[in-house]
Amino acid sequence: MADFQLQIYTQQSKAFDAPVTSIVVPGESGYLGVLAHHAPLVATLGRGTLTIRQQAGESCYYLSGGFLEVHGNVATLLVEEFKPSAPAAKS
């Protein structure tokens, strides 16, 4: 699967900058999935779990508001809060 660059910024610092295969973010009106070569997109983010998939595995983080921009095979998140969280239970 193709990769794209994910950059996550908080008010304090750059919190994440690495290639990923996909992300699922909590949009203001529901969850959004992003893969490599996604069409340009700007969206507001709500509270919820950000799931990041990389070649090595999957990780989950809690987000609290912000913005998502996807352009030129780079996804950039500007977030209020970003911290690790446990993966959601699979049913």
| CATH number of the structural domain spanning residue 22 | 2.60.15.10
List the chain pLDDT tens, one digit each, 91 residues: 789 999 999 999 999 999 999 999 999 999 999 999 999 999 999 999 999 999 999 999 999 999 999 999 999 999 999 999 865 555 4
Q: Is 6 exposed, middle or buried (0-12, 13-18, 19+ CB in 10 A)?
A: buried
pLDDT of residue 52: 97
| 90 found inside a domain | no
pLDDT of residue 85: 84
Looking at residue 42, its amino acid is V
Coil vs helix vs strand at 22 = strand
Confidence (pTM): 0.89
| 47 found inside a domain | yes
| 91 found inside a domain | no
Look at the chain and report how many structural domains it folds into.
1
* Containing structural domain, residue 52: 4-84
pLDDT of residue 91: 46
pLDDT of residue 2: 87
